[in-house]
């Protein structure tokens, strides 16, 4: 009994602000050689590549970019979807390396009223194909296609199962076993979150060829584990114009050094396959991490980033996500993008829209809802007016 009790105490998560404790974040603008970064050039040439490398080696693993061939086949086309309001396409994206291949089924709707190529929301979807019902009989608020089409945007997504199933054992099926088996041997090799982003990159490869889509206006979206993947993807791939993280929490937008809600110990225990093996060593040892998550957000700068939270989703630490965002502002400042976020997290349901940075903490629980999407659309409308 005593043993069980102490084990539980060890595993319990903290939800008490007064117990968060003091922490010191790694310095965003100081290179490994201790040089202070004050120019865009030093950021882009030295510090940004350093930080990308640190995330590869210590958190998510590297993301291979080479393959032998990529082929796109439109397998389903309906120009009269949503009562004539939208065009539906299903695209099989087949990627081949060393004679082995993987196919991703990309689903997309574009608005028929559009007179020019549209900006496109791309969802890294871990909730299964039913949430993106192309018949539109099941209208899931997680992927509110009608509302997005009405607003003049395209909406798309793929099921992560096509690239790396969200499962401790099966995650290897897909790109890891088929295309990049050597990654599995490496302690800084790609795992599930990296693979999901890799899949999103292949979707953009397709969008670049589709005249209905403005490939300069891709908006990456993910919720929770998908939000972690979206941030890591947006950090690496400069083709993403807006990166959206919905309640990504620990190892996503939330600061790891804040002892609040989910911890590195808990996440690496339950979901070891999301990260590279090297990440395990930071369980209960966050202060040794050479990065914290504000640095992930900063990699996206000066491109736009949106961080959404939910007030009852304390597991994902809304305040920790907001603080990471405020810490990332220094890099936006280098680019003369003045975001001036308030030091305190805004009230529940109060949206913050700044040039290049957005945030809200919606009332309610862990989920991605039409309310969240309305805020994303407002932010994108505002951003694309100028970009
Ligand atoms: C939880 C996990 C979180 C988050 C969430 C989700 O179990 O601890 O990090 O990823 O799942 O994806 O909904």
The ligand 1 atom at the shortest distance from the C-alpha of residue 247 is: 4
The ligand 1 atom at the shortest distance from the C-alpha of residue 251 is: 9
Distance 315 CA to ligand 1 centre (A): 9
Distance 321 CA to ligand 1 centre (A): 15
- With pLDDT > 70 as the criterion, what percentage of the chain qualifies? 97
The residue whose CA is least distant from atom 10 of ligand 1 is 225
Query: What is the per-residue pLDDT across 304-346, written as a single tens digit (0 to 9) for each?
Result: 999 999 999 999 999 999 999 999 999 999 999 999 999 999 9
Mean pLDDT of the chain: 97
Q: How far apart are CA 52 and CA 109, in angstroms?
A: 33
Distance 43 CA to ligand 1 centre (A): 32
Mutate to test the pocket of ligand 1, among 127, 167, 271 (most ligand atoms within 8 A of CB): 271
Q: Tell me the two tokens of residue 15.
A: 């939800």
- Mean pLDDT of all residues in 237-266: 98
Distance 250 CA to ligand 1 centre (A): 9
Active site residue 224: yes
Q: How far apart are CA 301 and CA 43, in angstroms?
A: 10
Closest CA to 37 of 331, 317, 283: 331
Query: What is the per-residue pLDDT across 252-308, written as a single tens digit (0 to 9) for each?
Result: 999 999 999 999 999 999 999 999 999 999 999 999 999 999 999 999 999 999 999
Q: Which of 224, 245, 248, 251 is catalytic?
A: 224
Q: How far apart are CA 252 and CA 2, in angstroms?
A: 35
Mutate to test the pocket of ligand 1, among 272, 315, 321 (most ligand atoms within 8 A of CB): 315
Residue 346: the pLDDT is 98
Confidence category of residue 7, pLDDT binned at 50, 70, 90: low
Query: What is the per-residue pLDDT across 70-123, written as a single tens digit (0 to 9) for each?
Result: 999 999 999 999 999 999 999 999 999 999 999 999 999 999 999 999 999 999
With a cut of 70, say whether residue 3 has pLDDT above it: no
Query: What is the per-residue pLDDT across 132-148, written as a single tens digit (0 to 9) for each?
Result: 999 999 999 999 999 99
Mutate to test the pocket of ligand 1, among 249, 256, 273 (most ligand atoms within 8 A of CB): 249
With a cut of 80, say whether residue 1 has pLDDT above it: no
The model's pTM is 0.97
The set of protein residues with a Cβ atom below 6 angstroms from ligand 1 is 224-225, 249-250, 262, 267
Residue 223: the pLDDT is 98
Q: Which 3 state secondary structure label does DSSP give 116? A: coil
Q: What is the DSSP letter of 44?
A: I
Furthest C-alpha separation in the chain: 69
Strand partners, 362: 310
Distance 337 CA to ligand 1 centre (A): 32
The ligand 1 atom at the shortest distance from the C-alpha of residue 266 is: 8
Closest CA to 156 of 202, 117, 197, 121: 121
- Mean pLDDT of all residues in 347-374: 98
CB 121 within 8 A of CB 156: yes
CA torsion through residues 230, 352, 294, 20, sign: negative
With a cut of 60, say whether residue 6 has pLDDT above it: no
The ipTM assigned to this model is 0.97
- Mean pLDDT of all residues in 121-135: 98
- Sequence-separated (6 or more) residues with CB below 8 Å from residue 115: none
Confidence category of residue 12, pLDDT binned at 50, 70, 90: confident
Distance 314 CA to ligand 1 centre (A): 12
**Ordered DSSP codes for 124-167:** EE-S-GGGG-TTSSS--TTS-HHHHHHTT-EEEEEEGGGTS-SS
Residue 10: the pLDDT is 55
CB 96 within 8 A of CB 69: yes
- Three-state SS for 162-216 is HCCCCCCCHHHCCHHHHCCHHHHHCCCCCCHHHHHHHHHHHHHHHHCCCCCEEEE
Q: How far apart are CA 185 and CA 43, in angstroms?
A: 32
User: Which residue, chain included where needed, has tokens 């957005």?
Assistant: 358
With a cut of 60, say whether residue 8 has pLDDT above it: no
Active site residue 18: no
């Amino acid at each position: 009994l005593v043993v069980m009790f102490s084990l539980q105490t060890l595993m319990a998560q903290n939800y008490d602000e007064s117990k968060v404790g003091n922490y010191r974040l790694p310095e965003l603008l100081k290179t490994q050689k201790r040089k202070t970064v004050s120019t865009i050039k030093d950021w882009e040439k030295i510090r940004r590549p350093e930080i990308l490398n640190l995330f590869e080696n210590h958190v998510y693993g590297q993301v291979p970019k080479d393959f032998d061939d990529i082929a796109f086949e439109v397998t389903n086309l309906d120009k009269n979807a949503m009562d004539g309001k939208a065009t539906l396409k299903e695209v099989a994206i087949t990627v081949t390396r060393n004679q082995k291949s993987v196919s991703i089924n990309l689903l997309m709707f574009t608005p028929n009223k559009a007179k020019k190529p549209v900006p496109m929301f791309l969802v890294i979807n871990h909730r299964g194909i039913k949430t993106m019902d192309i018949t539109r009989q099941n209208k899931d608020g997680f992927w509110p296609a009608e509302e997005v089409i009405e607003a003049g945007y395209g909406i798309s997504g793929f099921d992560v199962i096509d690239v790396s199933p969200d499962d401790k054992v099966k995650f290897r099926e897909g790109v890891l076993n088929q295309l990049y088996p050597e990654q599995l041997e490496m302690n800084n090799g790609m795992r599930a979150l990296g693979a999901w982003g890799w899949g999103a990159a292949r979707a953009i490869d397709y969008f670049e060829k589709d005249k209905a889509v403005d490939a300069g206006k891709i908006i990456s979206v993910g919720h929770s584990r998908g939000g972690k993947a979206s941030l890591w993807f947006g950090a690496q791939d400069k083709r993403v114009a807006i990166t959206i993280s919905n309640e990504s929490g620990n190892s996503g937008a939330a600061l790891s050094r804040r002892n609040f809600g989910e911890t590195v110990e808990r996440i690496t225990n339950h979901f070891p396959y999301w990260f590279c093996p090297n990440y395990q060593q930071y369980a209960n040892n966050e202060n040794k991490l050479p990065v914290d998550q504000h640095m992930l957000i900063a990699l996206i700068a000066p491109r736009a980033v949106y961080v959404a939270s939910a007030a009852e989703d304390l597991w994902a630490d809304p305040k920790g996500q907001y603080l990471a965002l405020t810490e990332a502002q220094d890099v936006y400042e280098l680019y003369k993008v003045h975001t001036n976020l308030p030091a305190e997290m805004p009230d529940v349901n109060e949206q913050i829209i700044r040039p290049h940075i957005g945030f809200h903490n919606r009332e309610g629980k862990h989920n991605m809802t039409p309310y969240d999407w309305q805020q994303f659309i407002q932010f994108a409308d505002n951003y694309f007016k100028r970009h």
